[in-house]
Amino acid sequence: MNIDRFIASRKELGLSQSELAEGICTQATLSRFENNGQVPNLKIVLKLCQKLNLPLSDLFSKVGFKYTETISKLNEIEFLLITCEYEKAQSLLTQVSVKEVDASEICLRYLYLKGFLMALQKEKDTDVLFVFDQILLDNDLKETDIYRLLAYTGVGLVYMENKELEKAEYYFNKVLAQIYHYSIETTEDIWRVLHIVFQCGVFYSEINELEVSNALLEYAVLICSDNHVTYYLARAYFQLVLNSLKEDLASEIVLERLYDARAFAKINHNDKLLDSIAALEKQLLPEKEDAI
């Protein structure tokens, strides 16, 4: 609540605390409100504002603006995360201060995005784990909460990058026990479930459990299809290409998946993935480069 705005209005009218409080509340109640932020009954606040000709909404407008601005930035950061624009996302994240907003869901979202951006940009492991621990140590979160599942995924990713695969598998298995049952209700749910499923697919490919990896990636494709989104289709198909190469599948299958990945990467303007696709195509079809 913007108490400074309230005090400024009282002083502009030349009213003392006692004069403003008269007939509404005690001077002590008003003093606790102005000096200590102890908000009295809302009816009292409304009457005080009416006496000051101050719209009640003016006391909340600043907080509402910060909340909206923060939500807007986090939406953009989350989209940049799923399109692999990590540097842009990190730059935008530095502009967000969760202290401006007293909302636990916003803080959890901030921590999840911060942790993954740090992990994917290979920042110090202990710093990354500390971020995810702040989510996992939140006693208000259920085991099935999406932010807890995202944190498990992030911790698993850190251990995978360090080739501590048994530790990584412990966390990814905790995710798999829950993610298939998670109810997708919002666009943000789609993004987060896809992020989890994709990262799990990458991990199980890393440990050569390709059947599990393929099932997860195909589940990601199904989620995209059912919800009419394309953000993860390119990445899922590209990982299926890498799995196909491990499985030594026919070149026709590999190239079909590669071209599917390229088509969706173009739709989503995922330039980094397009570079990876072009590099792999050059390896698979070196004669094409020679002909050019």
CA-wise closest residue to 54 among 100, 5, 103, 89: 5
- Give the pLDDT band of residue 82 (cuts 50, 70, 90): confident
Least confident of 160-164, 256-260, 264-268, 276-280: 264-268
Computed over every residue of the chain, the mean pLDDT equals 87
pLDDT at 2: 77
For CA atoms 138, 141, 146, 149, the dihedral sign is positive
Residue 136 lies in a domain: no
Last residue of a domain, one of 11, 29, 59: 59
pLDDT at 24 over 90: yes
- CATH number of domain containing 41: 1.10.260.40
Query: Per the structure, how many domains does the chain have?
Result: 2
Token pair belonging to 228: 């009419």
Residue 287 lies in a domain: yes
pLDDT at 107 over 90: no
pLDDT at 124 over 50: yes
CA distances from 274 to 77, 83, 242, 261, 287 (A): 21, 11, 15, 9, 20
Domain holding 231, by residue range, is 185-195+222-292
Last residue of a domain, one of 44, 59, 74: 59
Last residue of a domain, one of 59, 85, 105: 59
pLDDT at 64 over 80: no
Residue 89 lies in a domain: no
Of the segments 73-82, 123-132, 189-198, which one has the largest average pLDDT value?
123-132
Residue 147 lies in a domain: no
Residue 242 lies in a domain: yes
Residue 49 lies in a domain: yes
Residue 286 lies in a domain: yes
CA-wise closest residue to 130 among 145, 148, 115, 109: 115
Please tell me whether the overall predicted TM-score, pTM, comes out greater than 0.75 for this model: no
Residue 17 lies in a domain: yes
